[in-house]
Amino acid sequence: MNCAPAGDNGLMKRVVHAACPHDCPDACGVLITVEDGRATRIEGDAAHPVTRGFLCAKVAKYLDRVYSPDRVLYPLRRAAPKGRSGGAAAFSRITWDEALDEIARRFRRISADFGSEAILPYSYGGTLGALNGASMDRRFFYRLGASQLDRTICSSAGEAGLISVLGVKMGTEPEQFRQARYIIAWAANIHGNNVHLWPFIEEARRAGAKLVVIDPYRTRTARCADWHLPINLGTDAALALAMMHVIIGEGLYDADYVARHTLGFEALRERALQYPPERVARWTGIAAEDIRRLAREYATTRPAVIRVNYGLQRGEYGGMAMRAVSMLPCLVGSWKQVGGGLQLSTSGAFPLDKPALQMPQLAERSPLGRLGRVINMVELGKALNDVDDPPVKALFVYNSNPAAVAPDHNRVVRGLLRPDLFTVVHEQFLTDTTDYADLVLPATTFFEHKDLQGAYGHYYLQMSEAAIAPLGECRSNVETFRALAARMGFDEACFVEPVDTMIDTALASGHDRLAGITRERLEREGHVRLNLPVFPRNGAAVNDEVPEPFLPFANGGFATASGKAEFYSEDLARQGLDPVVSFTPPAESRHTELARTYPLELLARKADNFLNSTFCNIPAVQRMQAVGVLDISAADAGPRGIAEGDSVRVFNARGETFLTARVNGAVQPGTVSAPLAWARLSPKGSNVNALTSDRLTDMGGSATFYSTLVEVAKA
């Protein structure tokens, strides 16, 4: 941070280093200019090796979000019936004292009448800050004896799949993509969801690299690619197996790497034999010849890297799909080259002391005397309507907008409408979820609080300083749960621990990768690269100005039980899953019985310019993003009498939503697609999640947003 009196007008002007906390792999370094207490400018940190001085279009407009006239600035109490009505008019302003008293009183009552597990926290990716994401809140709910939330809505299937092969969530660092000569963007919408990787890919392409995109949707990334393979939803495991069929059959694998660093090759060879390209072509919609060419090019071009993203694992068999794709670099040995390998996530490299931040041992001091039961956040509708041991009587939502993002929206809303459910929502804005809140508490943005920030798309740890004072009466998550703990009479010292001490605690895990990385250093430098072992000097820690390439698995060193990349997994066998890898069509897909009634596969995707449901309400961002649209192929539109611009009803047994048809070649026959947005801003108040189901994935208990069958009719 630097301070200087600013020229003529005598205002104090300073530039503050922060880190974008939104749920995005890029975790950008951000510079906020503050003049006389007001933020006046936001820009990407040019010194950050991945941010490189630019921000995505939505966060570039963040001043509009921070200073939006729609910010919730004071605690609010409901003054009208729950439901989609009224917005701000449905609430009246109260004081923090009144709000905290009411929450403490209701929580005590519910705990006495039904047991403390009748209280359910609900949070996800509002902020990925180490403190405001998961620290004081966890302490509070452990001490309270509340139900635990299994936070599975995004990535747990893919994580399970990746970890089943590699043992850890690590991969190729983004800076190395510039050295790659064959790049597969597999379910990776790089322009939309990971834009800071793009300049490295561009650099590689200038040096002759080829970019292949495997995505059912013609994203901007696909349009820019050398080769786009529009795959049918949920069929990636089959494609990867067919590639392995070719690679193994034609002897294109790295026999030495396989022999030294993998386990179960013979079992994999036998399995891959069952997936010849001709057979797989029918499932994937990709011609056998294209599959062969892809396999040969991938196996023989060096270095070859795969950027795979979580879109791959939002289908019913997402775990197996990620498992299959994760095997490819292990088979061809591309981990050995700078610019080779695979990246899903880098988050496993950040060894912050989570137990010390979250303190699960506090559960022993709760009325329950142990950890509460676990509720899967994907099944919120079930939890609110059907769970009875005890029923959920209070819901505390923060960092999340479940009435927009949770699957089976109508069932979720049925639960949220229950008059006997006490719902508190800690938010920056009035959202789909506050439509059902009894109390709304005002939350700070990252401009207004300090935090420590890791990443899942690079290897830099960052300090995010508070740039401005909290607006109105906003409080951070940390301060809100601190205040609630005091009101509940929790007198443990951890509830008064200052933010800086919490940051010190998080950094004090004693792990090598954090050696020498202190709060003071992060405050000085803004971002610091983790101490990563360097190839070929594996084991030696360096932290130079220009970091040397980090090759996590060049010499094997996988974090699995066997220490090898596991083509055969004893652990999966124990769970009753296929220990090798296989393809199964999702129950909701064109290959199954239900497709006779609902013949179209729905890709209920993310919007390129929103962040899940965040940013939907900001006018400057709305201008960049078409919402309320359904992409449909001419082959599916024609027979239904649907033309470009027509209003359509998209429906299945769970619900319906109303959209405007776009017949522009974005999707293939049999697939339709619509972006996620706020339900309350959508025609007739429902979004794509009115159509999605709460069925869980094969591994990790994640959501199956992208295994959804629908029918479409002209409205």
Q: Which residues bind ligand MGD (CB under 6 A)?
A: 23-24, 124-127, 132, 153-155, 186-189, 192-193, 214-217, 219, 231, 233-234, 236, 309-312, 314-315, 398-401, 404-405, 426-429, 431, 443, 477, 603-608, 610-614, 676, 688-689, 692, 705-706
Nearest to 677 by CA among 445, 413, 432, 310: 432
**Residue 56 touching ligand SF4 (CB under 6 A):** yes
Residue type, 85: S
Which residues between 582 and 641 bind ligand SF4 (CB under 6 A)? 611
Given the complex with ligand MGD, which of 48 and 58 has the nearer CB atom?
Answer: 58
Whose CA is closest to 710, among 589, 605, 586, 606? Answer: 589
Q: Decide whether 134 or 338 has the Cβ nearer to ligand MGD.
A: 134
Which of Mo ion, ligand SF4, ligand MGD, none does 314 bind, CB closer than 5 to 8 A by kind? Answer: ligand MGD
Instruction: Tell me if 154 contacts Mo ion by CB under 5 A.
Output: yes
Residues whose CB is less than 8 angstroms from the CB of residue 462 and which lie 6 or more positions away in sequence, other chains included: 17, 19, 27, 29, 48, 452, 453, 455, 522, 526, 527, 528
The answer to the question of residue 316 lying near ligand SF4 (CB under 6 A) is no
Q: Does 406 bind Mo ion (CB under 5 A)?
A: no
- Point out which span in 20-28, 242-250, 285-293, 676-684 binds ligand SF4 (CB under 6 A): 20-28
Q: Please give the Cα distance from 706 to 315 (Å, whole number).
A: 5
Q: What is the CA radius of gyration of the chain?
A: 25
Q: Cα(343)–Cα(345) distance, rounded to whole angstroms?
A: 6
Parallel, antiparallel or unpaired: strands 709-714 and 647-652: antiparallel
Using N-to-C axis directions, what is the helix angle for 236-249 and 265-273, rounded to 10°? Answer: 110
For every residue of 414-428, DSSP letters joined together read HHHT-TT-EEEEEES
Rounded CA gap, 246 and 262, in Å? Answer: 19
Smallest distance, ligand MGD to C-beta of residue 207, A? 25
304-308 β-sheet, strand order: 227-229, 210-214, 182-186, 304-308, 341-343
User: How far apart are CB 611 and ligand MGD at their closest, in Å?
Assistant: 5
Residue with Cβ nearer ligand MGD (164 or 613)? 613
Min dist. Cβ of residue 319 to ligand MGD (A): 13
Cβ proximity to ligand MGD, 204 vs 688, nearer residue: 688
Could you tell me which stretch among 23-31, 205-213, 554-562, 677-685 binds ligand SF4 (CB under 6 A)?
Answer: 23-31
Beta carbon of residue 468, minimum distance to ligand SF4 (angstroms, whole number): 18
Q: Output 371 or 424, the one with its CB closest to ligand MGD.
A: 424
Judged by beta carbon distances under 5 to 8 A according to partner kind, the member of Mo ion, ligand SF4, ligand MGD, none in contact with residue 422 is: none
Helices (H), ranges, 274-421: 277-284, 288-300, 318-332, 354-358, 380-385, 402-405, 409-416
Instruction: Say how many residues touch ligand SF4, by CB under 6 A.
Output: 12
User: Minimum CB separation from ligand MGD for residue 123, in Å?
Assistant: 8
Q: Cβ closer to ligand SF4: 172 or 614?
A: 614
- Which CB, 245 or 527, lies closer to ligand SF4? 527
Residue nearest to ligand MGD (CB): 311
The rounded distance, in Å, linking the Cα atoms of 546 and 535 is 15
Contact by Cβ (8 Å): 331, 244: yes
- Binding-site partner at residue 186 among ligand SF4, ligand MGD, Mo ion, none, CB < 5 to 8 Å by type: ligand MGD
Among 16, 17, 18, 20, binds ligand SF4 (CB under 6 A): 20
Measured between alpha carbons, how far is 235 from 233 in angstroms, rounded to an integer? 6
* Segment interacting with ligand SF4, rule: CB under 6 A, options 19-27, 128-136, 150-158, 624-632: 19-27
Tell me the two tokens of residue 298: 């991938």
Residue span binding ligand SF4 (CB under 6 A) among the ranges 25-33, 85-93, 421-429, 561-569: 25-33
Return the residues of window 153-212 that contact ligand SF4 according to CB under 6 A: 195-196
Spatial distance between the Cα atoms of 71 and 555, rounded to a whole number of angstroms:
51
List the beta strands (DSSP E) in 171-316. Answer: 182-186, 210-214, 227-229, 262-263, 304-308
CA-wise closest residue to 514 among 460, 463, 457, 456:
460
- Tell which positions 635-674 bind ligand SF4, by CB under 6 A: none
The SS3 call for residue 295 is helix
Task: In angstroms, give the least distance from the CB of 675 to ligand SF4.
Answer: 16
* Closest distance to ligand SF4 from the beta carbon of 606 (Å): 12
Taking the complex as a whole, the smallest distance from the CB of residue 429 to ligand MGD amounts, in Å, to 5
Distances (CA, A) of 715 to 124, 448, 605, 673: 35, 45, 22, 17
Query: Number of C-alpha atoms within 13 angstroms, CB side, residue 352?
Result: 27
Q: Binding residues for Mo ion, per CB under 5 A?
A: 154
Q: Which residues bind ligand SF4 (CB under 6 A)?
A: 20, 22, 24, 26-28, 55-56, 59, 195-196, 611
